Amino acid sequence: MSINAEYILTICTGSILLAKTGLLDGKKATTNKRLFKWTEHFPKVDWVREARWVTDKNIYTSSGVSAGMDMVLGFVADQLGYEVAKRQSIQIEYDWKEDSTWDPFSTLYTDNTP
């Protein structure tokens, strides 16, 4: 499957839905850690467990809703520059977690239960 999109951004379990299309095959991605077990169904995707968000070329995936906010600001930084993204985070009074690898939730869910 191909899609005519310059960028694709997905939040939380949206990456599981995107994986179902085959668009994530051969790419790095992440998803919500509480439901990370679902990634077993998509072995062609290089799932990154410990990541707040993952960027693979033009595809951005995040691990959860608040991580999605961080990912979008990361996307803004990639497209328009860090200063623009930082200014936006301050204007919306959001504590932006700028490090995409910072993921305190990756070890909380080991047996797929909250």
Q: Write out the catalytic residue numbers.
A: 12
Q: How far is the C-alpha of 110 from the C-alpha of 36, rounded, in Å? A: 9
Query: Can you say whether residue 89 is alpha, beta or left, with left for phi > 0 and alpha for psi between -120 and 50 degrees?
Result: alpha
Q: How far is the C-alpha of 58 from the C-alpha of 91, rounded, in Å? A: 26
Length of the chain: 114
